[in-house]
Structure 1
Amino acid sequence: MSVSPSTMAAVRASGAIPQAEYLLNVENIRKEFPGVLALDNVQFRLKRGTVHALMGENGAGKSTLMKILAGIYIPDQGEVYLKGLPIRLKSPLDALENGIAMIHQELNLMPFMTVAENIWIRREPKNSFGFVDHGKMYDMTAELFQRLNIALDPESQVRDLSVANRQMVEIAKAVSYESDVLIMDEPTSALTEREVEHLFAIIRDLRAQGIGIVYITHKMSELFEIADEFSVFRDGRYIGTHLSTDVTRDDIIKMMVGREITQMFPKETVPIGDVVLSVKDLSLKNVFHDVSFEVRAGEILGVAGLVGSGRSNVAETIFGVTPATAGTIEINGKPIKMNSPNQAISHGMAFITEDRKETGCLLILDVLENMQIAVLQDRFVKYGFVQEKGVTAACKTMSDALRVKTPNMQETVENLSGGNQQKVLIGRWLLTNPKILILDEPTRGIDVGAKAEIHRLVSQLAKQGVAVIMISSEMPEVLGMSDRIMVMHEGRVTGFLDREEATQVKVMELASK
């Protein structure tokens, strides 16, 4: 019989919790959604004072299990043991009260509140009159930040913070619950190298305090740097657990995908054609200045730079999201005044944005609706009517080609894993048969198997004569996939590197000028 959350919380508060072998123990958990068996009798064990990485392809069941531990989902069967005691969590509040906190990949802060208000919401200190004691709340936040070495003003508005600083606020909030178990879902997806180092320092400090950390990541380098051990899930099943010191990167990939991936960056040497896109002295006031470059048919132009360098802003301006304040854009030698995305699409351009939830996928619509939306204006319209049969067949073919894991084309996109949402977004734009393809962080939050598939697809498109601009924060991706690399720093282009001469050191030198 499971212990109730209130009883567990009382036992936890009393300090009379038995010293079980595992801080957290999951046994035979099963979870099924309509048409999808997300977890099939999986297990997971977390020791005190360790970082346990959870690995697997998108759709493997990692996030589903973590949402069960965070009280968001209730399992269909199986048991969760916390410090040796069986427990059934029915809500996120249950989980928090019992010392389990989760930091989601998509941050859940309230932008129009202060940092301190976000951290202590529902737990605000009160004065003798029963009102919120803001002074004490800010002091508590400052003390927490000092403990974590976070340099933020407790009174600043969350909406004014960078993604990296919002991540730090989420971590501080989780730590403020004095949690025994801390779950981190892709915590470094939007962080610079320096910010990642800071995060790892915090994680090591928490580990030294005896906190157990579950760390979900697709980045192999992070596993070997921060994790003590790891577990692999595949297709909703538990595959195995190993110490991170006992395996190689290739061993882990084989466990994750069930096969060897022989070539992560299948870049082919293809004939480079004429200039398709030419950008000259492009500027957006107070954002970027005098950006000039060309992209030719069949060429992959990588765009590198630290967060805040203006890479994404340039892409949005070229696509007409934010019209330029100066400069020119030419397509096939003809000047174009790019004032809207519709105009960009009409000139054969496609743009896959870096944030699939905010500016990419339409989460409440299904897979078919998301994929067909960019081609309903002309390609599959005849005499003013949509050719339903043709567009449905094309979307299904694209979904199969990208190996989107979905029970059917009518599945709501918000029910898919992050990686499969990304594939749906990519499929939408590939259906437009673009001549110019802009990819902004195309493999962020994507597992190694899917990354290789997307890289192969990009290479095939280049082979077909598509001009590709690939923006990426992952150095191996930029170096492995690009014919040339354009590097930016603080809104300006600092240099270009050919594939043969490009190295990580040279890119970073230009990115930090």
Structure 2
Amino acid sequence: MSEPLVALSGVTKTYAGITALSDVGFTIAAGEAVCLAGENGSGKSTLIKILAGVERPDRGTIAFSGQVQGPLTPRASTEAGIKVIFQDFSLFPNLTVAENIAFSAELGEGVRLVRRARMLKLARATLERIGVDIPLGAVVETLSVAHKQLVAIARALATEARLIIMDEPTTALTEREVRGLLTIIRRLKADGVAVLFVSHKLAEVLEVCEQVVVLRNGQKVAEGPANDFDAASLTRHMTGRDVAEEPPAPLPADAPMLLQVQGLSKAGAFEDVSFNLHSGEVLGVSGLLGSGRTALAKALFGLVAPEAGRITLDGREVPGGDPIAAAAAGIGYVPEDRLTEGLFLTQSIVQNIAIGRLDAHARMGGVLDLPGLLNEARNWLVRLKVKAPDPDAPVRSLSGGNQQRVVLARWMARSPRVLILNGPSVGVDVGSKAEIHGIIAELAAQGLGVIVISDDLPELLATCHRILVMKGGRMVEDIPGGSVDETELAHRLAS
């Protein structure tokens, strides 16, 4: 029997007395996909950094093809064929597709002069290897997220990758793009390339991986063939508890009307969109890439100016294209990309909440009641169970789930009437996801109207009273909650 491609044994890592990994070991064979599962803070990122040579373990061994390695450096890891594709892809946005793919390979060979013909040949051959067609001269910053990810995979293959580590590879992809990525992973495995797959989306994990390794609080708590796990058991190992979600109870027939959208249109984005939202209702909006769902969400909050139609909240018309007016009317918006659109990453956790309440704590002469403002923000941290050891630490220090709670807290502090959540659980672990869904249910129980924009089908089914389906910028179907299962909903989105 041949030696595994990578073998870890007894890997332990501590930071300032806090154990990030404790006695972790497992193997990865050539052509095998292994899922590394665990909640935020479980030790996944530390383990990836150790394999990449960025961090060194305090104890334990790492062997490549049976050869135990000394202190692992980024160069040694790269030369061994280990490539990490991080969530931000780490591409050069101002360079072309071909330049990004060939850069590392050319650098590794010590090339000093650009050899354009060779570069194009290498990039073309690498893209053909994974069966995708992307213009080689396209500048990377103009590409979709899915295409950027494919460029990152191709760059790894151009340098003879033997193990590709994918850190949350499907976070920003649509359902269709995820299917394409899983197909490419299967091609890589057939070609002998191993994959270490880190994802919060359990269905994808179980579909593409042969083995599963689960970390919790820095320790390996489960390991075995993927066929031995299902979503429920994997969740239980990751969180240490059962996380079961049931569809919401039916909305009362006499629930008052809250929001009315009539004939909303924006050329090239959406057309003649009409729907109602009741007090206490959670309304889902879903659709494939290009359906217009995100543009609609932004239009409801005034970030996109509609060319026709009207939005009425509590019987009063909300001016279009004016986010300040929308917020003043009682509409809140939590964006899908919280890192670039929802948070001030270098500012403290409490300041990110407090920024939405400056007017409420202003005193005569423009003096700000700073103690009152910050105390209110800290109370929201407690109410939403934000795990923040130091509320004055930068918000970027938090996990994805806690960052999302901070954005939610900022809006909840403003007491909105309608809250629009665009991808509310994107990039958060399964435990945090269930807790965010619980927050959505609590908001609805308090009488808020909640609009959930998502292509996460289990999320829609678990949280929504109704699901609106968009295609080509139009609302084509209104599906009552509990009337379809995940398979049927996927069919209706794709058909």
TM-score of the aligned structures, taking structure 1 as reference length: 0.88
Identity among equivalent positions (%) equals 35
* Offset from partner CA, 1:72-120 (integer Å, 9 cap, x none): 44445544333332243344x5532331111112332233221111112
Secondary structure of the structure 2 residue equivalent to 1:406: coil
Aligned-residue offset at 1:338: 3.1
Opposite residue 454 of structure 1, the aligned amino acid is I
* Offset from partner CA, 1:132-166 (integer Å, 9 cap, x none): 12222122111111111012111122222221111
- Cα gap change, 1:423/1:77 in structure 2, threshold over 3 Å: closer, same or farther? farther
- Check whether the contact 1:23–1:212 (CA below 8 A) recurs between aligned residues: no
1:150 maps to: 132
* Offset from partner CA, 1:427-451 (integer Å, 9 cap, x none): 2222222210001110112222111
Aligned-residue offset at 1:282: 1.5
Which of 178, 185, 188 is residue 203 of structure 1 equivalent to?
Answer: 185
Within 2, Cα distance between the matches of 1:419 and 1:24? 31
Aligned-residue offset at 1:351: 0.8
2:245 maps to: 264
* Offset from partner CA, 1:227-263 (integer Å, 9 cap, x none): 11111111233323122122333222211111122x3
State how 1:431-442 maps to structure 2 within 5 Å: 431-442=413-424
2:259 maps to: 277
State how 1:79-478 maps to structure 2 within 5 Å: 79-83=61-65, 84-91=67-74, 93-124=75-106, 131-261=113-243, 263-265=244-246, 267-271=248-252, 273-378=255-360, 380-383=361-364, 384-478=366-460
- Check whether the contact 1:321–1:340 (CA below 8 A) recurs between aligned residues: yes
Aligned-residue offset at 1:287: 1.8
* Offset from partner CA, 1:192-238 (integer Å, 9 cap, x none): 34433332222222223332211111122122211111111112333
- Cα gap change, 1:198/1:31 in structure 2, threshold over 3 Å: closer, same or farther? same
- Check whether the contact 1:270–1:462 (CA below 8 A) recurs between aligned residues: no
Aligned-residue offset at 1:176: 1.5
Unaligned runs of 5+ in 1: 1-17
Within 2, Cα distance between the matches of 1:175 and 1:184? 13
Within 2, Cα distance between the matches of 1:247 and 1:474? 21
Which of 4, 8, 11 is residue 28 of structure 1 equivalent to?
Answer: 11
- Check whether the contact 1:399–1:427 (CA below 8 A) recurs between aligned residues: yes
Secondary structure of the structure 2 residue equivalent to 1:173: helix
1:53 maps to: 35
- Check whether the contact 2:319–2:326 (CA below 8 A) recurs between aligned residues: no
Within 2, Cα distance between the matches of 1:321 and 1:50? 45
Q: Which moved more, 1:36-45 or 1:171-180?
A: 36-45
Aligned-residue offset at 1:398: 2.8
Within 2, Cα distance between the matches of 1:85 and 1:243? 25
Opposite residue 120 of structure 1, the aligned amino acid is A
Opposite residue 277 of structure 1, the aligned amino acid is L
Aligned-residue offset at 1:506: 5.3
- Check whether the contact 2:457–2:490 (CA below 8 A) recurs between aligned residues: no
- Check whether the contact 1:265–1:477 (CA below 8 A) recurs between aligned residues: no
- Cα gap change, 1:209/1:510 in structure 2, threshold over 3 Å: closer, same or farther? closer
Aligned-residue offset at 1:500: 4.6
TM-score of the aligned structures, taking structure 2 as reference length: 0.91
Opposite residue 190 of structure 1, the aligned amino acid is A
Aligned-residue offset at 1:466: 0.2
Unaligned runs of 5+ in 2: none
Aligned-residue offset at 1:37: 4.5
Opposite residue 362 of structure 2, the aligned amino acid is V
Secondary structure of the structure 2 residue equivalent to 1:386: coil
Within 1, Cα distance between the matches of 2:13 and 2:230? 30
Secondary structure of the structure 1 residue equivalent to 2:214: strand
- Check whether the contact 1:182–1:214 (CA below 8 A) recurs between aligned residues: yes
- Cα gap change, 1:390/1:82 in structure 2, threshold over 3 Å: closer, same or farther? farther
CA RMSD in angstroms, aligned pairs only: 2.6
Secondary structure of the structure 2 residue equivalent to 1:28: strand
Q: Which moved more, 1:336-345 or 1:176-185?
A: 336-345
Aligned-residue offset at 1:396: 3.0
Within 1, Cα distance between the matches of 2:233 and 2:143? 39
Opposite residue 381 of structure 1, the aligned amino acid is A
Within 1, Cα distance between the matches of 2:106 and 2:439? 51
Which of 457, 469, 473 is residue 487 of structure 1 equivalent to?
Answer: 469
- Check whether the contact 1:279–1:330 (CA below 8 A) recurs between aligned residues: yes
Opposite residue 127 of structure 2, the aligned amino acid is F
2:21 maps to: 39
Within 1, Cα distance between the matches of 2:49 and 2:410? 29
Within 1, Cα distance between the matches of 2:342 and 2:368? 23
Within 1, Cα distance between the matches of 2:118 and 2:378? 57
Q: Which moved more, 1:104-113 or 1:469-478?
A: 104-113
1:4 maps to: none
* Offset from partner CA, 1:399-431 (integer Å, 9 cap, x none): 334333332112222232323322222222222
Q: Which moved more, 1:437-446 or 1:473-482?
A: 473-482
Aligned length: 490
Within 2, Cα distance between the matches of 1:98 and 1:79? 15
